[in-house]
C-alpha cells in the first residue's frame, strides 16, 4: 500500500477524541484514524497506524541486523515450569503476567522472554565456539497494567523488540553493550527522537543498575535528573542529585524534567543462566555459566513518543522516515480538469517512488486541510483551479507555515 | 539476513527428532533447526523458520493487496462484551478460547476476529459509499486444542491471515468471493501447493456451507471425497458421495483421500452484522444490514503443509519462492585456496542478489551434505579440491539426483 486514494482508505478522521483518553498520543492517533481502542491499554492498528508501526519496526530490524542480531519469533504462551526455574512465576515481573488454564495446566502470556530464550539456548549452546550469540524478536507482549492511562505509551498489549545477547566473558559482553547503545541512538534518531541515556534500577530483571533511553516529554510518566551537556543522567527514583545540583562530571547545573522511557538495556550477568543451568565449555575445558544481556525497545511506545514530541494544536507532525506516506496530495473541487491534473501528479509521484495519499474526496478545502494537518504527512501538495491557472501546484511542509508554488512539470 | 555463514547461524541441526513428535512437519522442522517446541502445539521460530514464515506471509500480503485488501492489526486481548453480543463467548468457537482475568474482568485471547472487526467497522461505516471494504491482518491466534499432535498443522498458538469483506449487496459479495478464491489459488501455487476447493460445513461460523482449500497429504487430519478432474470436492463430514461413486458434474469415479485444510472462506451473510447492529444507509435512503465474508489462511499451517508434501527420507525440499535461502554454498576442507575460492563465490552470489547460506563449518563432507539435504535449500553448490582442479564448482538441485560441473566464472 505505497499509494492510496483517500476515498478508499479505512478509516475516517474523527472530530473529537473519546473523552476518557487523556494522553496526547491516544487522542491524536484515535482522531486521525491510526488506531482503534479495544480496552484501556489495548489498541488495534488501522491501516495508517500499522504503516507507521511497520516502518519503525523495519528501522529497528535493520539496526539489529547490523550489529549481528538474528531474528527469531518466540511464543506468547509460556509454560509455567520455566518460570518456576527462576522463581519469577508469581513474583517480580511474574506478578504482571496474564495467566490462563488449559485442563489442569497453567499457562502464562509472555511479558518478557528471558526464561524462554535461556531454555532454548541451553539446548544448543555447548561450547565457547557457539558464543557470542545475539537473538532478537519483534513480538507482542502482555502485561497487567493498573495504570493503562497513557495510550500507546503503556499498554496491556504492546509491540516490542527484545534482543538478548549471550557471551563467554564479561569483557565480550561489555563491548557488545556499547554497540547496542549506539544502535539504539541510531534507531531513535531515525525515528526523529533524541534520547538521554539514563541510569535506572533493575526493576526485577537484575540487581545492579541498568540503562534506560529517556526522551523528554510533557506527557511522560518518568522524571529524570540530567545534565544539559548530555554526559550525566539518572532516573529520579535512584537519583542522588536534584535540579540545580552540579553535574558530577562537568559541574554544570543539573535539570529535572518529565520524560517515557522508550528503551532499556539490562546487564543480566549470570542471573538467568545460573538459575536455568545454561553452561558452556570454555577454551580451558572448564564448564562456565553463560553471561547475558537483554535490550528492549517498544515499537508501539516509540510511535506514541513520536506523537507526544512531534505535534501541534492541529495534529501530528510525522518525521520523514516513519510517516505513513511521504506526500499528501490534495485536489480542491471536483472539476474534470482539476481531477485529471491531480490524477497525473498522483501517477508521476508514484513513478518517482513516492508514497502518496491522494485526497480525492468530495469535501471542502477547509476540511481537507484540517484532516491533512491532523494526519501529519510531511509534504502537502495542493492542486486547485487557482494553482492550475499558474500551471503550478502548491507545496507546503507540515512543520512549516510557508507555502510555495512549483511548476507542474517539476513536481517530484 | 539475505546471506549467512553457517558457523554463525543459530541453531544446529539435530540427529533425531524428539520422540513425542509423530508428524513429519514437526520432526523435520525441529531436526533441521527451523523451530523449537515450547509445549504441545506451541512452537518458537528460529532464524531459518522465521525466514520461511515471513516469505509465506509476504506472498499472502501481496495477493491480498492485489484484491484491494488493506492491512490492519487487531489485538489478541478481546473484551468479553463483544462476544456476548453474538453469543459466542462460551459456545461454538468461544469454547476453544483461552480466557484470563484482570481484576474482576474476563478477557479472551482471540481465536478469530469477526466480533472485534464488526465492532470496529460499525463505528466507521455509515453509508453505502463506505462499502465495499476489505480488511485483513496477519496475526497470532490462540485456540485450546486437545488434539495438538500434528506439529504446525494444528497449533494452540499459530500464525494466520484473516481477511474480512463488507458489502452492501449479496451480488457484490459473490463477485468478491470469486476473487478471493483466485487469490488463494495464487498463494498456494506460489508456495508449491496444489489445493482442491472443497465444500464443508460452517463450523459454527455460519449456518450454510463454506469452502475449504484442501491439499492432499498423508499426514492430513481431514478426509475429502473429490473428482480427479478437479470440478467437485466435499469434506468427508458432509459428503453425500463415496469413493467410486460417479462425480455429479463429469461422471468420473470419485476418490477419497487424506488431506489439512489449509485455508477456508466463509460467506457469513448478515449473522454478525445483525447481532452487532452494523448497518449502513443504502442509495434508497433505507437502513440495511452489512453483508460479510471471512477468509482465513494459516501461514504457519502452510509452512507445515509444504513440508508434509515436499520432503524425502533425507529432509525437506523447499519450493523456490519460500525457501529460507536460494543457494546452499558448501566448502569442503579448510585449505586456504578452497576457502578463498568459496569466499569469492559467496560474495559473487550476493552481488547477483542471491540469498546464500554458506557452510564454512569444520565438518566432514558427509555431515555437510546430510545437513544440506535436511535443511532443503533448492540449489547446492560445492567447492572442493576436486572441483577446483577442473576450475569448476559442482551444482545440484535438492529435488534432483544428478550433479553438474560449472566453470568458476559462470556461477550465478
User: What does A346-403 look like in DSSP terms, one character per residue?
Assistant: HHHHHHTT--EEEE--S--HHHHHHHHHHHT-SEEEEE-HHHHHTTEEEEEETT---E
Nearest CA in chain A to B73: A45
Segment A373-402, tens digit of pLDDT? 999 999 999 999 999 999 999 999 999 999
Phi, psi of B211 (to 5 degrees): -120, 140
- pLDDT at res. B220: 83
Using 50, 70 and 90 to split pLDDT, how confident is the model at B113?
very high
The CA distance from B160 to B177, in Å, is 19
- For the domain covering B3-221+260-312, report its CATH number: 3.30.930.10
Placement of cell 497470532 in the chain: B140
Q: What letters, b where the CB count within 10 A reaches 16 and e where it falls short, cover B80-106?
A: eebbeebebbeeebbeebbbbebeeee
- pLDDT at res. B350: 95
- pLDDT at res. B207: 63
- Nearest residue to B127 via CA among B286, B243, B272: B286
Q: Are B376 and B328 in contact (CB under 8 A)?
A: no
Contact: B156, A77; criterion CB under 8 Å? yes
Contact: B75, A100; criterion CB under 8 Å? no
Give the residues across from B358 on adjacent strands. Answer: B5, B329
Quick one: what percent of chain A has pLDDT higher than 90?
Answer: 83
Give the residues across from A394 on adjacent strands. Answer: A382, A405
- pLDDT at res. A202: 66
The CA distance from A326 to A38, in Å, is 29
Any A CB within 8 A of B74 CB: yes
Q: Would you list the domain boundaries of chain B?
A: 3-221+260-312, 325-410
Supply the ipTM of this predicted assembly: 0.96
What does the block give as the cell for A319? Answer: 518525521
Over residues B227-248, mean pLDDT? 88
A205 pLDDT more than 80: no
Over residues B231-240, mean pLDDT? 86
Give the C-alpha distances (Å, rounded to integers) separating A230 from A196, A244, A249, A266.
7, 15, 10, 21
Helix (H, G, I), strand (E, B) or coil at A175: helix
- pLDDT at res. A249: 87
pTM for this entry: 0.96
In this structure, of B40-49, B80-89, B97-106, the range with the lowest mean pLDDT score is: B97-106
Using 50, 70 and 90 to split pLDDT, how confident is the model at A238?
confident
Beta-carbon contacts of residue B202 (< 8 Å; ≥ 6 apart): B208, B209, B210, B266
Handedness of CA A78, A83, A84, A89 (dihedral sign): negative
Contact: A107, B116; criterion CB under 8 Å? no
Segment A304-333, tens digit of pLDDT? 999 999 999 999 999 999 999 999 999 998
CA of A327 vs chain B CAs: smallest distance (Å): 19
Over residues B84-108, mean pLDDT? 93
Over residues B283-296, mean pLDDT? 97
- pLDDT at res. B204: 59
E strands, A201-324, where?
Answer: 210-214, 223-226, 233-235, 255-258, 263-269, 279-281, 287-289, 291-298, 311-312, 315-316
Contact: A76, B75; criterion CB under 8 Å? no
- For the domain covering A3-222+259-312, report its CATH number: 3.30.930.10
Q: Chain B residues with CB inside 8 Å of A98's CB?
A: 100, 102, 107
CATH tag for B325-410 (out of 3.40.50.10490, 2.60.40.10, 3.40.800.10, 3.40.50.800)? 3.40.50.800
The CA distance from A217 to A223, in Å, is 10
Is omega for the bond preceding B11 within 30 degrees of 0, making it cis?
yes
Amino acid at each position: 500500500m505505497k499509494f492510496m486514494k483517500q476515498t478508499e482508505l479505512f478509516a475516517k478522521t474523527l472530530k473529537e477524541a473519546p473523552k476518557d483518553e487523556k494522553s496526547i498520543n491516544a487522542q491524536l492517533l484515535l482522531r486521525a484514524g491510526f488506531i482503534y481502542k479495544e480496552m484501556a491499554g489495548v489498541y488495534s492498528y488501522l491501516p495508517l497506524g500499522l504503516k507507521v508501526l511497520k516502518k519503525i519496526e523495519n528501522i529497528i530490524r535493520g539496526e539489529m541486523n547490523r550489529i549481528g542480531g538474528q531474528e527469531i519469533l518466540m511464543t506468547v504462551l509460556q509454560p509455567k515450569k520455566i518460570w518456576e526455574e527462576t522463581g519469577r512465576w508469581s513474583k517480580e515481573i511474574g506478578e504482571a503476567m496474564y495467566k490462563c488454564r488449559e485442563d489442569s495446566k497453567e499457562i502464562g502470556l509472555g511479558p518478557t522472554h528471558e526464561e524462554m530464550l535461556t531454555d532454548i539456548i541451553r539446548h544448543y549452546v555447548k561450547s565457547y565456539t557457539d558464543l557470542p550469540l545475539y537473538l532478537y524478536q519483534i513480538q507482542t507482549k502482555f502485561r497487567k497494567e493498573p495504570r493503562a492511562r497513557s495510550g500507546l505509551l503503556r499498554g496491556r498489549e504492546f509491540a516490542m523488540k527484545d534482543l538478548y545477547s549471550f557471551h563467554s566473558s564479561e569483557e565480550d559482553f561489555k563491548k557488545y553493550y556499547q554497540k547496542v547503545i549506539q544502535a539504539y541512538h541510531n534507531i531513535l534518531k531515525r525515528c526523529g527522537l533524541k534520547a538521554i541515556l539514563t541510569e535506572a534500577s533493575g526493576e526485577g530483571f537484575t540487581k545492579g543498575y541498568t540503562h534506560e533511553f529517556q526522551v523528554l516529554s510533557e506527557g511522560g510518566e518518568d522524571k529524570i535528573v540530567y545534565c544539559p551537556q548530555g554526559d550525566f543522567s539518572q532516573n529520579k527514583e535512584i537519583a542522588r542529585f536534584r535540579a540545580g545540583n552540579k553535574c558530577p562530571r562537568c559541574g554544570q547545573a543539573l535539570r529535572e524534567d518529565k520524560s517515557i522511557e522508550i528503551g532499556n538495556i539490562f546487564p543480566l550477568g549470570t542471573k538467568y543462566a545460573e538459575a536455568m543451568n545454561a553452561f558452556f565449555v570454555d577454551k580451558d575445558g572448564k564448564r562456565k555459566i553463560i553471561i547475558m544481556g537483554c535490550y528492549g525497545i517498544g515499537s508501539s511506545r516509540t510511535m506514541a513518543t513520536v506523537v507526544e514530541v512531534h505535534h501541534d494544536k492541529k495534529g501530528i507532525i510525522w518525521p520523514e522516515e516513519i510517516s505513513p506516506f511521504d506526500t499528501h496530495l490534495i485536489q480542491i473541487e471536483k472539476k474534470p480538469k482539476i481531477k485529471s491534473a491531480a490524477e497525473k501528479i498522483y501517477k508521476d509521484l508514484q513513478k518517482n517512488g513516492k508514497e502518496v495519499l491522494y485526497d480525492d474526496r468530495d469535501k471542502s478545502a477547509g476540511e481537507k486541510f484540517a484532516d491533512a494537518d491532523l494526519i501529519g504527512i510531511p509534504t502537502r501538495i495542493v492542486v486547485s483551479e487557482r494553482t492550475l491557472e499558474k500551471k503550478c501546484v502548491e507545496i507546503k511542509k507540515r512543520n512549516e507555515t510557508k507555502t510555495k508554488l512549483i511548476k507542474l512539470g517539476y513536481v517530484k
